[in-house]
Structure 1
Amino acid sequence: MKNSETEDVKINSKDKPELTGGQKFGLFVSYLFLILSIVFVGSLHYADLLPVYIIAMVVVGLSLLYLYTYFTQFGSKNLRRAGTFLSILLCVCLGFGTYYVLVTKGTLKKIAGAHKKTDTISLIVMDQNPAKTVNELNGYNFGIATTIDRANTDKCIKDVEKDLDGSVDTKECGGIDTLVSALYDGEVDVIILNEAYRQTIEDSKENFSKETRVIKQYKYESELSKTNSVDVDNETFVVYISGNDTYGAIADTSRSDVNILGIVNPKTKTCLLVSTPRDSYVELSIAPGQTKDKLTHAGIYGVDCSMDTLGNIYGVKPNYFVRVNFTGFQNIINALGGITIKNDTSFTSHDGYHFEQGTLELDGLHALHYSRERKAFKNGDFQRGQNQMKVIKAMVKKMTSPSILGNYASLMSGVSDSFRTSLSDDEISSLVKAQLKNGGDWNVVSYSAVGTTGSEYTYSYAGKPLSIVNLNQTSVENGKKLIKKVMDGETLTQDECDSLIVNDK
């Protein structure tokens, strides 16, 4: 009896069909698809960019696809092949999908939550000075500004004394203009200067960088003033958009060439961009009651000074900021594959770049020169502000088009190195999820404040009068009205914004 049972078991074992090589490969790819699906869903959860219901739909969809690819391996030969091909295709898609999700999250973590600034302080001598290193500055007379940027100056003096292993002789030279003059006149041998002032100095001394030389630089990081965060999904918020007129590290303090307030109402899906001329003659938030200054110079004292100064003009309190500098501007547009704009008037920039009237395709370099030009226009800064907002709108349009997928990794790399915002990555994720959940197009409109040109002494550079713009108060009040409408949830059209622009000269 036992022998008979044993014989039956062997027979049944022999009758069991064996998997073919094609089936084994198909099942392997199907299992790989399952593993990659789990990894992909995990990356979506980690990135926190999609609403829960969408992730749930993804899970259900991937589960059904897995079951299909698995059970096809036990069907006909053609069905097995179809299942294997689908598994391979889905594995490739999941691999790229996971990569893009992780790159996106990494970029958000890098650009979001900016709350520090970096000041670069230089030891500068005349170019013909024989000194090459800090050690050779022993016995030199150091010129320093009396009050402006004194905190960073005092830090630098301590570090220089550590390098020299001894005290240094300093001479207070008043403002930045008299500090530079003291160096040129030989009253001091070396000056301590915040690099944020360099461009302002070169407005009056064009050859300053050629006639002087940096011995050493010291970098100091400090916290920015805290801003008021809001529920970005449901509350209207104000974003200060700053375009810095420097190349290099985005965190470095510098003048702000672009000064735009973005008023964002998430409920009505309206975004109002209000541009203010960079040379607007205003009272800086750090120096109330003192000599007025150019709006662009506010950036020298940190992005928080620019935010507060601009907010005071329009009676609002910016909640967040976005910063991009020249390097970042070019990198982002090049990563986008260029942008398309409609140019109203043919012009040639002061540095030789020509732009025809009509539709233009611009790469990063040409977009930079297009958005910076003001000397070619009779209305100068006013036209430049309009051109800058054209470029911003074109960038937003390109970023939301499917064409960016081919350069997505390059775009993320360009953004991560050249773009900073005080919005946290959680707040950015929340905005993305809200858009995906609610859908719908945004109504983006723009308005430009204007004024009359002139020349005045400024807080940051008192040596000579500089070109400034006296803001037209009616223009400012119209800007306030538009801002209030967006905050109150009223609809706004571009025609309405255009009708309120004051035709000032």
Structure 2
Amino acid sequence: MKEQNKVLRGIGIVLSILLVVASFYLLYQLIKINVLPTKLLFLITIIFVLLDAIFTLLLCYYTRAVVSKIICVVITLVLIFGSCMGGYYISKTGSLLTNITNVTKHAKNTVSVVVKQSSDIKNKSQLNGLSVGTLRTIGTQGSSKALKELSKDGVVMNQSEYDSLSAMLEAFYNGEVDSIIINELSRSQILDMESYADFDNNTRVVYQTSYKVENTDKANAVSDITSKPFNVLISGSDTRGGFDENGRSDVIMVATVNPKTSTILLTSVPRDFYVTTACDAADGCMQGALDKITHTGIHGTNTTKRTVEQLLGIEINYTFKVGFDAVTELVDAVGGVDVTVVPGYAVNHFACMYNLSVHEGVNHLNGEQALAFARERYAYTEGDRQRTKNQQLVLMGIVDKITSPSIVQNYSSIMDAMSNTFSTTMSSSEISDLIKYQINNNPKWKIEQYMVDGTGDTLMCAELGDAASVMVPDQSTVKMAKDKINAVLAGKSADDVK
């Protein structure tokens, strides 16, 4: 019996040590993430200290009966496991905050020397002495870098400059030049032009290089994010190379947040909105030129931000960049999202994913389907307007899943997916303050929505140097958007603005 008691007491001592270590691990992660109000953190600390003390005494001194000892051991194991898992989940949350607020200092641009698929040119050495088309004012830094690197390798090309992307492509297909240099960011623009929709299939890359440009997107922080209203630009990029690469802004929303009135206004701008560009980057951005707003993202989030500020006459405090292709991972991580299709908007086949269909009512979509649903415009008579509404539905579906209790089941994978999906100029301390505010005050947020509108047309776009399908702004809706944003900033409801 004495031998058995020694064994049980030894187990009790080991478990007590593990319990204290697990508790301190959890408390350390709670302190490190800094999202709990001081009073609540103090209360949790006292509770864990008391639990550790009680179960240490019970395990080592006061429980002598075998059954009582076993019960204490089981409860202690549960506490150890719970503390370790809790600390691990909090650690993953902390990593998420670090990742999404760690905005890259430079953006990567990749440039390619492209030849026709039918060309005999197989490698860069065969480019020597041949002609190459480049753009005169757009992406000149990339063209110069490619030609300079080729020259170092003994490959000298005869350069012909063109004023627009469409003019360069026309010369290339007509045989005026043997090759062209394109920024890979412009590939999607090329494919959007009807004449060059098959560009990927009838061309190939024989040389590629990259260069970096400074990311000038900075926060214009408010003094107290829990009491002062602020604007956030949500930019959904179509880039496939991660957050260190710029791409077209396929989703453009301004979230106006007023913590005092617990109001959030989402103002959407369709990607084809025809606007005057307010440039941030000097390398080829067409300052003051008319273009669709989606093209501003190619020159960085800050160019999109400045253009939206100019369009709506507002000040944007923070940016929130969403890698929309990475949304597929997040949607799959949360187990899919539910979107409600209103009567009259059922679709049998989507252009971007033919085997996808949606019916009236609630539809459950996986990651690939959610991305296709958010990108589709050809299946709707409203085109870009409906696509913008669908994007809002997908984002709200993600929010619903992330804020539901079921998040615990796949918490780790969800945190990893979110780390690869979002990037913001809001600091981790500001995000922590917002979480504390939510825990302390538990406000019931009212979410309002608005979308600027216009009429469809085909007009010259500066980035393309060619006419493309655009949405000409209805200035009355632009003014309405500005008035609604200012109303929320002033502590009123956007719904009161008529």
TM-score (norm: length of structure 2): 0.91
Per-residue deviation, 1:52? 2.5
- Paired AA for residue 144 in structure 1: T
In the TM superposition, 1:264-413 aligns within 5 A as: 264-286=257-279, 290-344=288-342, 345-348=345-348, 349-351=350-352, 352=354, 353-413=356-416
Per-residue deviation, 1:322? 1.7
In the TM superposition, 1:2-401 aligns within 5 A as: 19-73=5-59, 74-76=61-63, 77=65, 78-115=67-104, 116-162=106-152, 164-165=153-154, 167-204=156-193, 205-225=196-216, 226-230=218-222, 231-286=224-279, 290-344=288-342, 345-348=345-348, 349-351=350-352, 352=354, 353-401=356-404
CA distance in 1, matches of 2:27, 2:287: 57
CA distance in 1, matches of 2:203, 2:156: 24
CA 1:289/1:165 → structure 2, altered by over 3 Å: closer, same or farther? closer
Is the 8 Å Cα contact of residues 124 and 155 (structure 2) preserved in structure 1?
no
Determine helix, strand or coil for the equivalent of 2:487. helix
- Paired AA for residue 341 in structure 1: V
CA distance in 2, matches of 1:172, 1:481: 45
Which ranges of 4 or more aligned residues in structure 1 deviate by more than 6 Å?
none
Per-residue deviation, 1:136? 3.0
Is the 8 Å Cα contact of residues 238 and 325 (structure 2) preserved in structure 1?
no
Higher mean C-alpha deviation, range 191-200 or range 437-446? 437-446
Is the 8 Å Cα contact of residues 23 and 80 (structure 1) preserved in structure 2?
no
Is the 8 Å Cα contact of residues 339 and 395 (structure 1) preserved in structure 2?
yes
State the Cα deviation string for residues 386-422 of structure 1 (Å, max 9, x = none): 2211221121111111101111111111122232222
Per-residue deviation, 1:334? 0.8
Report what 2:282 is aligned to: none
Alignment match of 2:464 (pick from 461, 464, 468) = 461
Report what 2:473 is aligned to: 471
Aligned length: 479
CA 1:249/1:288 → structure 2, altered by over 3 Å: closer, same or farther? closer
Is the 8 Å Cα contact of residues 29 and 91 (structure 2) preserved in structure 1?
yes
Per-residue deviation, 1:89? 0.5
State the Cα deviation string for residues 50-82 of structure 1 (Å, max 9, x = none): 222222122111111111111212234243333
Is the 8 Å Cα contact of residues 286 and 462 (structure 2) preserved in structure 1?
no
- Structure 2, unpaired ranges of 5+: 280-284
CA 1:139/1:289 → structure 2, altered by over 3 Å: closer, same or farther? closer
Is the 8 Å Cα contact of residues 121 and 195 (structure 1) preserved in structure 2?
yes
Is the 8 Å Cα contact of residues 72 and 79 (structure 1) preserved in structure 2?
no
CA distance in 2, matches of 1:85, 1:139: 79
CA 1:320/1:217 → structure 2, altered by over 3 Å: closer, same or farther? farther
Report what 1:7 is aligned to: none
- Structure 1, unpaired ranges of 5+: 1-15, 501-505
Higher mean C-alpha deviation, range 361-370 or range 47-56? 47-56
In the TM superposition, 1:403-442 aligns within 5 A as: 403-442=406-445
Per-residue deviation, 1:165? 4.0
CA distance in 2, matches of 1:170, 1:150: 12
CA distance in 2, matches of 1:346, 1:384: 14
CA 1:160/1:238 → structure 2, altered by over 3 Å: closer, same or farther? farther
Aligned: 1:450 with 2:447: no
Per-residue deviation, 1:306? 0.9
Alignment match of 1:482 (pick from 484, 492, 498) = 484
Is the 8 Å Cα contact of residues 401 and 407 (structure 2) preserved in structure 1?
yes
Determine helix, strand or coil for the equivalent of 1:152. helix
Is the 8 Å Cα contact of residues 284 and 298 (structure 1) preserved in structure 2?
yes
Per-residue deviation, 1:167? 4.7
Percent identical residues: 30
Per-residue deviation, 1:196? 1.3
CA distance in 1, matches of 2:207, 2:433: 44
